[in-house]
Every structure is written in C-alpha cells, then in structure tokens.
Amino acid sequence: MKKYSENGDFLKILEERILKDGQVPEKDVLKVDNFVNQRIDVAFLREVCGEFYNRFKNEKIDKILTIEASGIAIACMAAQYFDCDVVFAKKGEARNMGNDVYTAKVTSFTRNRVYDLSVGRRHISKGDRLLIIDDFLAEGSALSSLCSIAGQAEAEVVGAGILIEKAYMTGGRELREKGLRIESLAMIDRMDEDGIVFRSGN
Amino acid sequence: MKKYSENGDFLKILEERILKDGQVPEKDVLKVDNFVNQRIDVAFLREVCGEFYNRFKNEKIDKILTIEASGIAIACMAAQYFDCDVVFAKKGEARNMGNDVYTAKVTSFTRNRVYDLSVGRRHISKGDRLLIIDDFLAEGSALSSLCSIAGQAEAEVVGAGILIEKAYMTGGRELREKGLRIESLAMIDRMDEDGIVFRSGN
C-alpha cells in the first residue's frame, strides 16, 4: 500500500494534508471531503490512525464507538490496530425502535439543528471499555452524546480519539475538564480565508 | 488480528456467520446488524473482502464507489486490497449543492420510500475505473443508481462486489442482463422463519 510518512510522524502528514487538501470556504468551516468525508484516502487514514494506537495502546479497548457516516472509516482503520469491533451510532429520529436502543440528542451548530443518535442496546455491553473515535471535535455535542450512550449502557469510556479538533472552540476544554481523556491529532487554533493555524507542540 | 478462515474459504465463513448471527424477523428481511450494519466486525469483513480481491484482482481499479453508511466499512476493507480510495454517495436530499454533484434517485422497497444519492463531481474523474461495493443487493435500485452516477461522470464501472444478494429478487438478474459484472459473496435463495437457504455452487 501507499506510504505517506517516512518516520512515523503521523501528526505532520495529517497537518500537511489538511493544508494541501482542506478547504476553508468561510471562517471556521473546514472541508476535508477530499480525503475524509466523501472521498476516503484509506491508506492515509490507516497510517494516521497509528497515532491513536500510539496513544491508547496501553489501554484495554473492547470496542470503538463512532457516529455514521464520516466516523466509520476512521474507526475501522483504528480498529485494525486495536483488533476490536466498531459500533456506530445512527443519526436521525430514533423511531420505532422502542426499548431496544440507547439514544441521545446532538446539537449541530454548523447545521443549526438537533438530531437523535441511537445505538442498539445489544451492541454495547455493561463493562465494555470503549474508545470513541470521530472526525471532528468543535462544540463537543456529538462526543458528549456518545459518552451519554456509553453511560446508559454502563460501559466505560477509556478516551476519545479525534482526527481534527477546532481547539479554539469550547467542546474539547469542557469535556477534558469533566475528566474525559481526548487525544486530537490535529489541533486547529484559528482558520479563516488567510489560512489554517495549528497549535504547536500538540 | 483475529483469523476466521483456515484455508481462505471466505464464502464459507460468510455463510456460517450469516446463519449464526443473522436474524430473519420476517420473511425476506435479513438483519446483520451484529457484524455489518451497526456493530462492525472489522477483522471478519477484512478477511471476507479478500474474496472481492480474488475476483477482481486482474482488473485495474482506480476507486471504490459505495453508499453511506453500511457500505463504507466494507468498501474500506476492500480498498486495502486494491490500494485505492473509496468514494461514498450520500443519502438524502441533494439540497443546496447546485451543479457540484452528480445525483440519482433510489427506491427503497423495504422502507417504501425514494431518496437521492449524491456524489461531489470532483470525487469521480472521467475515465476512472470504478468497483462498486455494497452490503446488500435485492431490487437493485441502489446499484443501478450508482451506475448512473458513474455514467454521469463518464467513469467506467468495472463491476460490483456485493456482500449479500437476495438472489430470488430481480435486481441482480436484470443488471447482469444489462452487462454489469456482479460478484456476490453470499447468494440467498430463500429465507423465512424456517431459516436461510443459500444458493449452492456460488
């Protein structure tokens, strides 16, 4: 398979790729649909996910929990390092699913709407040690809702691995203050029409 | 990673897994959400996708085309064999996307509704050789729509790799008669409360 990093510096190749292929059509909006969100560079994501393994390899991980659709590819790539299954939360109305699902509401600030997440109860067991994986962290509503679902299942969230964090927004700080371990591979401090500034020393 | 097949008989382990974990809550409805559609057994799917490679390895494949959400995991596992990117079509109203997307309508017979598929134009290039991957084939509407999108992009569909085909339905036969090469790993001839019968000699 294609190889992107010469020396395992996964953070560097991710930042370089975001600068090369990411688009900022307006302030604070980053589109990475050319390698993550619609076209998926599988070999690249697989390599970058090695960094999630570097950071969580000392933890026992039973399952990776993510959200459809964009989380699935990243979660599947990460799961190959941890040798575990992926469970993804479905978006949309949790209709006609009765008591068979855990649900939580997510507020999408970019899309200005509220939607339901749902996971079939039988897919998360009590005591499961979960690693949450997602593509973006901004306000933290989706991540918070995944933690809620894990809590409903009496599972344990070992931590969260995020591909790109908008570090100038409040979600990451608030969830870290509540004790959640969050490992974000690219931390963006600022972005606008002039470019993208990454947090140094991440 | 976990290993499922002893001798590379991917079809056998898939049929066995469907019999073990698949649920037929009513006639002609097969739920495989325990290892494909919500909980994803990544190691298993990766192994089974080796069969797609066996069947298409003599073809040059530029990209794999699939549909969110359930197609993504399978497509990403297959892409690792073919060393190519995945592009997934989005479901739902193709709103506010103007001329930047290819779209096609899908009729879902099980859910009794029509929805749009859309793919950003920049993600498929003229002349791209595409392998379509999806989880199910029944009436063939989704597969037919993906072929339409490929046609709009002037790309070439090399073939389609399907995890589970309801072979008693008309979609597969009609699309094969039109000249599409379809390779389905599990071919179901009949399923009801008495069980699932696979087509022998697939």
| Complex prediction ipTM | 0.95
B47 Cβ under 8 Å from any chain A Cβ:
no
Can you tell me the distance from the alpha carbon of B99 to that of A80, in angstroms, rounded to the nearest whole number? 38
pLDDT greater at residue B71 or residue A6: B71
Q: What is the pLDDT of residues B75-118, one digit of tens each?
A: 999 999 999 999 999 998 765 556 799 999 999 877 788 999 99
Residue A197 backbone dihedrals phi, psi, to 5 degrees: -115, 120
Facing B87 at nearest CB: one of A38, A75, A84: A38
Verify cis geometry, omega within 30 degrees of 0, for the bond prior to B69. Answer: yes
pLDDT band at A110 (very low <50, low <70, confident <90, very high): confident
Say which residue the tokens 């506010």 belong to.
B96
Closest chain A residue to the Cα of B47, Cα to Cα: A80
Mean pLDDT, rounded, for A165-181: 97
Q: What is the pLDDT of residues A80-96, one digit of tens each?
A: 999 999 999 999 876 55
A107 Cβ under 8 Å from any chain B Cβ:
no
The residues, any chain, with a CB within 8 Å of residue A112's CB and separated by 6 or more, are none
Mean pLDDT, rounded, for A44-60: 98
Burial label for B95, CB within 10 Å (0-12, 13-18, 19+), is exposed
Contact B119 A2 (CB under 8 A): no
pLDDT greater at residue A20 or residue A27: A20
Whether the pLDDT of residue B169 is over 60: the answer is yes
Q: Which of A29-43, B58-72, B110-124 has the lowest mean pLDDT?
A: B110-124
Cross-strand pairs, A64: A86, A131
Can you tell me the distance from the alpha carbon of B119 to that of B135, in angstroms, rounded to the nearest whole number? 19
Say which residue the tokens 């037919």 belong to.
B144
Alpha-carbon gap: A1 to the closest alpha carbon of chain B (Å): 5
Return the pLDDT at A86: 98
Return the pLDDT at A181: 98
Which two structure tokens, joined as six digits, stand for B18?
């469907």
Contact B68 A73 (CB under 8 A): no
pLDDT band at A111 (very low <50, low <70, confident <90, very high): confident
Return the pLDDT at A144: 98
What does the DSSP 8-state code read for residue B124?
S
The residues, any chain, with a CB within 8 Å of residue A3's CB and separated by 6 or more, are A43, A47
Residues of A in contact with B88 (CB under 8 A): 38, 40, 69
Contact B38 A88 (CB under 8 A): yes
Burial label for B92, CB within 10 Å (0-12, 13-18, 19+), is exposed
Cα Rg, chain A, nearest whole Å: 16
Mean pLDDT, rounded, for B195-202: 85
- Please, which residues 160-179 of chain B have a Cβ atom closer than 8 Å to chain A? none
Give percent of chain A above pLDDT 90.
Answer: 83
Nearest to B69 by CA among A151, A76, A22: A76
Verify cis geometry, omega within 30 degrees of 0, for the bond prior to B186. Answer: no
Return the pLDDT at A194: 87
Q: What is the pLDDT of residues A133-157, one digit of tens each?
A: 999 999 999 999 999 999 999 999 9
Mean pLDDT computed over every residue of chain A: 94
Return the pLDDT at A109: 76
Mean pLDDT, rounded, for A66-70: 96
Can you tell me the distance from the alpha carbon of A102 to that of A20, in angstroms, rounded to the nearest whole number? 39
